[in-house]
Amino acid sequence: KIVDFGCGKGNLLEVLYRNKFKCQKYTGIDIRNKTIISANEKYKDVEWAEFLTEDLVNAQNGVDFKQLLADKVCSFEVLEHVGKQNADKFMENFIACGNENATYYLSTPNFNENVGAAGNHTYDSGDGRGVAVQEFSYNELKELFEKHATIIDSFGTFASIRDYKP
C-alpha cells in the first residue's frame, strides 16, 4: 500500500503504472479538488488506485490519515508549499498515513542562501512574517524530521553544475 501525500496530478502513480508495478493500493491525496477530479478520470481504469481531496495540514474533507495504513508513504516536493509554520502538523499527518512498519520518503529543496529560493517557494504564509522563504535549510529539515521519525538515510537529488564541476 502506497500513499502519495501531496500527489498533484499523480506523477508517482504514472511512474509505477508505466513500469508495470502493481501495488495492493495506491492512494493519492492533494488539496486541489480540480486536480484530484482530473487524476481520478485519467486513472479510472487502474482499479487499485484512488485519489482523495484533502488539506494535508488541516483535514476538512473526512480523510482519516490514520486509517490508510500504508507500507510506503511518499511526499515529493510538497513541504515547501504548506508554510513553515505548518511543517509540524504536515509531518504529523504524513507519518499518520503509515502502518507501524512503514517507510517514508520525502523530498524538498534544501535552502541555500547563496543560491536563493525558487520563486514559488517565497510567499506570505499568513503567519505574520510577511513574504518569506518557505524552503528549509538542511539542518532545519534534519531537526524537523528527527522530531517525527527516525532518519535512515538522506540523499541529494539535485545540483547545478557549479555544485559538482569543481
| Residues 6 or more apart whose Cβ sits within 8 Å of residue 70 | 1, 2, 3, 27, 97, 98, 99, 102
Report strand pairing: 122-124 vs 131-133. antiparallel
SS3 label, residue 137: coil
Structure confidence by residue, pLDDT tens digits, 3-34? 999 999 999 999 999 999 999 999 999 999 99
* pLDDT score at 117: 67
Instruction: Summarize the chain as % helix, strand, coil (round to 5).
Output: 35, 25, 45
Q: Given CA atoms 10, 36, 103, 153 in this order, what sign does their dihedral have? A: positive
* pLDDT score at 132: 74
| Residues 6 or more apart whose Cβ sits within 8 Å of residue 36 | 28, 30, 51, 52, 53
The model's pTM: 0.88
Structure confidence by residue, pLDDT tens digits, 62-93? 999 999 999 999 999 999 989 889 999 999 99
Structure confidence by residue, pLDDT tens digits, 131-160? 877 788 889 999 999 999 999 998 876 666
